[in-house]
Amino acid sequence: MSEESTTASVGSGFISGLRASGNGLLVRVSAIAAIGGLLFGYDTGVISGALLYIKGDLHAGSLAQEWIVSSLLLGAILGAIASGYLADAISRKWTKVISGTVYVIGALGCAFAVNIPMLIGFRFVLGLSVGTASFVAPLYISECAPPKVRGGLVSFNQLAVTVGILLSYLVNFAFKDVTDNWRWMLGVAVIPGAALAIGMLTVPHTPRWLMQRGREDEARGVLKRLRGTDPDADIEGEIEEIKEANRTEGSSTVRDLLKPKIRPLLWVGIGLAVFQQFVGVNTVIYYAPTILSDTGLTKSSSITQTVFVGVTNVVFTVIAVLLLDRIGRRKLLLGGTIGLTVSLLLIAVYFTTPYLQQNAPYLALVALLIYIASFAVGLGPVFWLMISEIFPTGIRSKAMSVSTVANWGANFIVAATFLSLGNLITRQGTFYLYAALGIAAVIFFAAKVPETKDRSLEDIQRELTGVADPERES
């Protein structure tokens, strides 16, 4: 199986590849794994609308609001770290069952929270589940999918995240005029959580995990079921490859990440992770209704307009999925990051200019839409895709987990400081700061991020480290 083929089918070939390669089980496995992405997205988005009402109901000031948003992220950092161990120790499957169950507990706890500390506590519990899902969902998918749709499924997971965000906006919209609305908004999440926990009980362990446990016959059986009638299936070839990957990975440790030849790869992963958050994407996701209501809109119409942000995010992620293997990751990444930087400047200028606020109130929404579209075609999917492509097999899951933790950590820093930064350097000052970080991101990406489309891993690693197999040579 060539490395190029792992991503070659994202886009138009993705659906037909998925159809050709399964007997229904793979489609079911993918759909259930996508619920993991949904949870990630739903929780990210739901708080934006709920916060408008929690503020008044529980008397939450700026600091309390920041903690309500960001306690989930602290939980997610911990969840992403713990899931690396859990996924090996108790299996990917059971880690996901637990993630769904914890999610249900967290959602119920939030819905029935009687005060701010209780809400913050249960948002932390939700975070444990979301952080776990963000790491284990792509891992589970990549270990079940045949090479020809594996790349597509990785980006498909990002699509599920954006659908989750959109769903949360729609739920916010549906409940906006109901009594105890924010409790419903947070509580409805019980449904996808339960669907994940129950759904995961019905799917098999991944072949890779079974092989790690020495259960080769079972692994072969699962692979046969997953490949169904796929004419390209090579069960024994895959078993051999898993053996080889397990052998190299088994001997690598977290300290190997610091080897001189691996370090440059890790910096690219961490750079993508941190910039993905430092351009402020989640301030838009979390605070879009707040930003819009600052432009003079009522709470209710801010929530309505936020739905446009969610739809744009989904639509442009679909476009990215279709384009990533045609025009390449780098062009989308650079073009998208330039686009979002320009729109950040536009938002900042809007908040600086009273004339615009009075005469062009829709400019803020337009700028937000350009921003989210630019993020969705580039940095959104490209970060998650790249971290599954740039690391050598033996060190990949550890390096991916470090990049995932860096992403949640940066997400936390941005969320925990957005409102305070607004008080300190004004709202427009904050957006100027994100724009400056956008410019830094463009420079970093242009200098450091390679094109990975249609290239083998060895080739990519040679460009980044100067050697073809950094694991062996360092």
Using CB under 6 A, list all residues that contact ligand BGC: 44, 158, 161-162, 165, 276, 281-282, 285, 313, 380, 384, 407, 411
Residue pair 136/127 in contact (Cβ under 8 Å)? The answer is no
Task: Name the CA radius of gyration of the chain, rounded.
Answer: 22
Q: State the nearest-atom distance from the C-beta of 313 to ligand BGC, in Å.
A: 5
Beta carbon nearer to ligand BGC, 98 or 285: 285
Beta carbon nearer to ligand BGC, 182 or 384: 384
Q: State the nearest-atom distance from the C-beta of 441 to ligand BGC, in Å.
A: 14
Beta carbon nearer to ligand BGC, 135 or 140: 135
Beta carbon nearer to ligand BGC, 161 or 210: 161
Q: State the nearest-atom distance from the C-beta of 191 to ligand BGC, in Å.
A: 20
Beta carbon nearer to ligand BGC, 91 or 313: 313
Residue the block writes with tokens 């992405």: 37
φ/ψ of residue 28, rounded to 5: -65, -45
Q: State the nearest-atom distance from the C-beta of 180 to ligand BGC, in Å.
A: 26
Q: State the nearest-atom distance from the C-beta of 365 to ligand BGC, in Å.
A: 18
**Angle at Cα 276 formed by Cα 272 and Cα 278, nearest 5°?**
115
Q: State the nearest-atom distance from the C-beta of 176 to ligand BGC, in Å.
A: 21
d(CA 173, CA 219): 45
Task: Indicate the DSSP class of residue 205.
Answer: P
d(CA 174, CA 171): 5
Q: State the nearest-atom distance from the C-beta of 196 to ligand BGC, in Å.
A: 18
Which residues 6+ apart lie within 8 Å of 16 measured at CB? none
d(CA 470, CA 263): 10
Helices 116-144 and 62-89: crossing angle in degrees, nearest 10, is 40
Q: Which residue is nearest to ligand BGC (CB)?
A: 380
Task: Indicate the DSSP class of residue 206.
Answer: P
Q: In terms of Cα–Cα distance, which of 35, 249, 335, 29 is closest to 159?
A: 35
Beta carbon nearer to ligand BGC, 209 or 286: 286
Helices 190-201 and 92-111: crossing angle in degrees, nearest 10, is 160
Beta carbon nearer to ligand BGC, 22 or 381: 381
Q: Which two tokens stand for residue 379?
A: 């940095």
Beta carbon nearer to ligand BGC, 126 or 226: 126
Q: In terms of Cα–Cα distance, which of 156, 133, 120 is closest to 47?
A: 120
d(CA 299, CA 288): 11
Q: State the nearest-atom distance from the C-beta of 91 to ligand BGC, in Å.
A: 25
Q: In terms of Cα–Cα distance, which of 91, 352, 358, 386 is closest to 268?
A: 386
Task: Indicate the DSSP class of residue 2.
Answer: -
Q: State the nearest-atom distance from the C-beta of 283 to ligand BGC, in Å.
A: 10
Residue type, 434: Y
Residue pair 152/14 in contact (Cβ under 8 Å)? The answer is yes
Beta carbon nearer to ligand BGC, 91 or 158: 158
